[in-house]
Amino acid sequence: GISTSQPRRRRNSSADGSWAEAAHNSGRPANSLITTQVVLVDEREGGGDRHHLPALGALLRAAGAPYATRRLPTGFGDYAFARRSAALDPARGCGPDVAPMLIERKSAVDVAASMRDGRWDRQHAAMRRVAAAGRRAKIVYVVEGDPAAHVYTACGCGCRGVGACGNPNLEK
């Protein structure tokens, strides 16, 4: 068996700064890494069993992917891959405990609505600040749904906004 009384090695980032490599070289047993690495789901996203998207928790559980819900600071998106105990600080960005990827999920209708009311620009600017702090991170957008399936025509003005009258349309 693996002894748990070994002194803990200090957390490290690999020579090239790779989060996965740092986890691999942490000196902890492989099964320990699996239980300490989680998908963090922003509680405002509605993830997890006690929120609006219980299916997400069920899918992660069925895949054997550990997850936790908590309020992610502005700029970290909706999902983060991190150590369970990671302290997320927008000023530090993605440090050694957080994978350098910021993931924001939106429905096609919410993309259009957030572009209209300015949330898209504010959220993207906050994600750019976090991505630039610390280790450089990638920003990933996951857009769910087909915008063409949500063209609004009931208003009669002809704007054909996605999801609602006045929202950006497929041409804008």
Q: Are strands 138-144 and 37-42 parallel, antiparallel or unpaired?
A: unpaired
pLDDT of residue 132: 95
Regions in the chain scoring below 70 on pLDDT: 1-35, 46-53, 172
Burial group, residue 87, by CB count within 10 angstroms (0-12, 13-18, 19+):
exposed
DSSP 66: -
In whole angstroms, how far apart are CA 97 and each of 20, 68, 131? 10, 15, 14
pLDDT of 89-111, one tens digit each? 999 999 889 999 999 988 888 88
In whole angstroms, how far apart are CA 21 and each of 24, 61, 65, 82, 96? 5, 25, 19, 13, 10
pLDDT of 58-71, one tens digit each? 888 899 989 888 89
pLDDT of residue 172: 64
pLDDT of residue 171: 82
**Residues 42, 32: contact at Cβ < 8 Å?**
no
Q: What's the rounded Cα separation, in Å, for the pair 9 and 128?
A: 33
Written as one string, the DSSP assignment of 71-123 is: -PPTTSBSEEEEETTPPPBTTTBB-TTB-SEEEEEEEHHHHHHHHHHSHHHHH
